[in-house]
Structure 1
Amino acid sequence: MKTKTGAAALLASLTLTTLTGCGMSEDKTPSAGISGTDQAIETTKGVSSEIYDLIGLKGQTTKPGVVTNACPGKDPEKFFSTFHMWTFTPAEQGPLDGVMERLKQSMPGLGWKVVGFEPDTSRNRNLTLTADNDAKKHSVKITYWAKDEPPKLNVSVVSGCYEVPEGETVE
């Protein structure tokens, strides 16, 4: 898999900075350990699946895949992060009411630290939950688009920075 560029890379970079609190300097970028790109992508897919299961509702998700991105301030041949954004639309109207509060309450017991729970800065003031999981080396940002028709959840899962094993380069 090639490192993606353009809008997806910019969005992922901004999300990594927002979710993990890392700045552009090398020493603030959280490490996710050593991994090949395929394994890191599978790990991020697994974290996304866990978030889907936590939502606890039947519905449909968009199908974009996991992308890899360069880590700010690090060698793009050796370091990368993963990013998976998807949208959940419930099968029935109304069941998203209260789901954000339920996620806020249940995630800490599963290793997630909720670091933000507030309206975003958009005109709609969408409720946003941001959480970090130090053990999984991932962060998630879930935004409830309550005013959309039908209402949806937008989910962004991002990893810390992986380093490829000795002798490999980012695919």
Structure 2
Amino acid sequence: MEKKTIIGLTFTKEGEKNVNGEVLEENVEAVKEYATSFGYELRSQVTINVPVKHYEQTKAKDYKSFFPTQNKNLQNIGEEFKLSLYSQRWGHNDFYTLTKTEEGWNVTTNKLKNAKGDKHAGPHIENALTGESISFPSDIGYFLSDIWDASQTKSKEEVQSYFYELSEWISTTEKTKPNFGALLI
């Protein structure tokens, strides 16, 4: 009987039951990163030789379902979403990454790495855009909060489409704002 290798993982978190799961070897790092985003720590990792049928069943499983947070209707936790915003100052688009957390959004830019923010991505997204002289709506935080709430029941692709719309709106505003720099000559 042919055997294949899978990895058995156990994660712990204070005040929670241990989480056990089986994954393919190539998914171990992604599972660890995902678990860490929920505050879990890897307790043990074992290599298991299993029949091909068991391997195929393991391959079909979504490792995110191992974690109880998914059962509390918190979807897209740990997922990254992109804002692609035009900068008149630099003449090109820059990317702003927002990673969904249980509390809000972590913001990553050229100058920030995973800065923890609330559902409004505050204060980091506004500070980043202001620092780059990008015009944006004063209520951007409310839009990001609405997207966070919607992401509870929407697919990652649907949520990213909201970020595309927001990117387009901000970029259009930035591209069409007047440039009064010529008046200083």
Higher helix share: 2
Length-normalised TM-score, structure 1: 0.23
| Higher RCO (CA-CA < 8 Å; seq separation 6+) | 1
Give the number of the structure whose residues are more often strand, by fraction.
1
**Structure exhibiting the larger radius of gyration computed from Cα positions:** 2
- Structure 2-normalised TM-score? 0.21
